[in-house]
Amino acid sequence: MLQLQQIEKVFYEGTPDEKTAINGLSLTLEEGDFVTVIGSNGAGKSTLLNIISGVLFPDQGLIAVDDKNVTFLPEHKRSNWIGRVFQDPMAGTAPNMSIEENLALALGRVERRGLRKGVSSKRKKQFKEWLSSFNVKLEDRLNTRVGLLSGGERQALSLLMATFTEPRILLLDEHTAALDPARAEHITNITNDVVSKHNLTTLMVTHDMEQALSMGNRLIMMDDGEIIFHANKEEKDQLTVEDLMNEFQKAKGKTMANDKALLK
């Protein structure tokens, strides 16, 4: 359902700062695929998500969703079928608006209507149901300003806002990295639940190789804008963190002191 063909993205082309961020990358995702994306700093992971979401356009190559060419479709025209959660809990939600206003806005993006004056009681009931399914105790705080929520609560809300509209593609950009281990685990569990509940086609960037191995049905490793290793479900189930480090070394001829080199 998502096809990336020979994607190329170069920053500052023709200048001394020229940097090839994505280098002839091709990738096809089937409906319901959940791909974890790992790679060293500057490997091109965020650029890849930015190109899929229309924040950036590629210099070359083609992006198709459900066989429709969307390569140069602007970001705002993709927002009704792409959900995205960022690393920064402050991103993706409006801090001065309440939980219910944020949810209504997210819904409005898809239902093609803006924020109405107030939220109907039927809608409030729906919001409460959605929130309680996430087990973060936000269902009785619909009128709380989002800026007052903890990082974990905000990430849960962002994840809900990115998924309750059942987007065609869900993009997760290190969305648990800024959280303490207990909260990160909770968001990880919610992510697994919501992705499987809606059978969402998902790309998740992470620096946590354990997480990359335990989540999803496919894994890709990137370096220098290329996919240097790809594992399907069966292969992934057999892999260890050490295997991933070996693959990285094999592909790049680099020696790593420890997994931090790939993780961070």
Interacting residues with ligand ATP (CB under 6 A): 11, 19, 21, 39, 41-47
Q: How far is the CB of 170 from ligand ATP (least distance, A)?
A: 17
CB of 45 to ligand ATP, least distance (A): 3
Quick one: DSSP state of residue 98? B
Q: Which residues touch 166 (CB under 8 Å, ≥6 apart)?
A: 198, 200
Sign of the torsion formed by the C-alpha atoms of 107, 170, 131 and 153: negative
Q: Which residue's CB is nearer to ligand ATP, number 45 or number 84? A: 45
Residue 80: CB atoms within 10 Å: 15
CB of 169 vs ligand ATP, minimal distance in Å:
18
Burial class of residue 131 (count of CB atoms within 10 Å of its CB; 0-12, 13-18, 19+): buried
Q: What are phi and psi of 118, to 5 degrees?
A: 75, 170
Q: How far is the CB of 30 from ligand ATP (least distance, A)?
A: 24
Return the number of the residue (47 or 165) whose C-beta is nearest ligand ATP.
47
The residues pairing with 64 across neighbouring beta strands, listed in sequence order, are 3, 69
Nearer to ligand ATP, 43 or 99 (CB): 43
56/162 with CB nearer ligand ATP: 56
